[in-house]
Homo-oligomer: A and B are copies of this chain.
Amino acid sequence: MADLRVSVAGVSFKNPVITASGCFGYGKEYDELYDISRLGGISLKGMTLKERLGNPPPRIAETPSGMLNSVGLQNPGFDTFVKEDMPFLRQKDTVLIANVAGATIEDYCGIVERVSGTDVDMIELNISCPNVKEGGVAFGVSCESAANVVRQVRPYAKKPLIVKLSPNVTDIAAIAQAVEAEGADAVSLINTLLGMRIDLKSRRPILKNNVGGLSGPAVFPVAVRMVWQVASRVKIPVIGMGGIETWQDAIEMMLAGAGAVQMGAALFYDPYAPLKVIEGMNQWLDEQGVKSVSEIVGQVKPW
């Protein structure tokens, strides 16, 4: 039995497998299938100060080895979350990460401040949602705007602050460095790649939002590359995600430099995928004679 514990920005995880924001709701649904306390952590559904209805349906389209979504940050708002979901979640022995977003800098500051007053363990600043008109990815695509939002939010964050990066940029490592310089405690990546599908019969985009975010195994090689690039340019921990489906994928992501991983789309076709990853990882480490999973982080040997 290898030691699966990892520590990211001072927070201890029982294992490095976290469910990705927007793919696991606030945990209740999957807890009907298995005890979600078995997970290293949960990145909760993206939250805003006030309720958001999200985009009109259809909000999902299938793609080769992947999917597009255009949910658009639907969520009940902070107050409802605290009342209806926090009590259940806090009974669970797993790291809780509040994924937060806003349309303006003030929104970001407001939600970060409020969330800091709750029992969550970390805050993940989503500056990379491609599915909302204002805010979201708009903040995440230039070093200046990314740095600016982190600078402004930082004083309100009383919990370790993870900044979630967009892959729809020319130089993701530069943006990671910019947010590191403003005091981000960690970065997570990748959010979804912007994509589109068109229905031949109606000649309409399948998504009512026209475009949406690509995730799932298709994006895995892009995610590994970005995690590797970012990890080699920042000192803060990197949480890696994008297309992880198997324990092999999770190990690959950790070798590339991820101190922990998140899994999203894979849940939809295999709800047990995170548990299988934890188990497989454990076996592999034992076979390899590696005592602690943290030993493999960033251990890729580039040519």
Contact = CB atoms under 8 A, between A and B. Distances in A.
Interface string A193-211: 1111110101111001111
Interface string A212-239: 0010111111101100100000000000
Contact of A221 (B68, B203, B210, B228): B68
A203 B251 CA distance: 10
Contacts of A209: 303
A251 B216 CA distance: 24
Contact of A65 (B65, B68, B142, B225): B65
B203 A255 contact: yes
Nearest to A169: B170
Report the contact-size class of chain A (Cβ under 8 Å from the partner).
Answer: 35 or more
Task: Give this chain's copy count.
Answer: 2
Contacts of A248: 200
A251 B203 CA distance: 10
A196 B224 contact: yes
A285 to B, nearest CB: 11
A158 to B, nearest CB: 32
Contact of A222 (B214, B245, B255): B214
Contacts of A251: 200
B218 A301 contact: no
Contacts of A219: 218
A63 interface: yes
Interface string A54-69: 0000000101111010
Contacts of A204: 300-303
A37 interface: no
A198 B255 contact: yes
A221 B65 CA distance: 11
Interface in A147-194: 168-170, 193-194
A228 B204 CA distance: 12
A195 B221 contact: yes
Given A170-B141, A300-B203, A225 B211 contact: yes
A301 B198 CA distance: 9
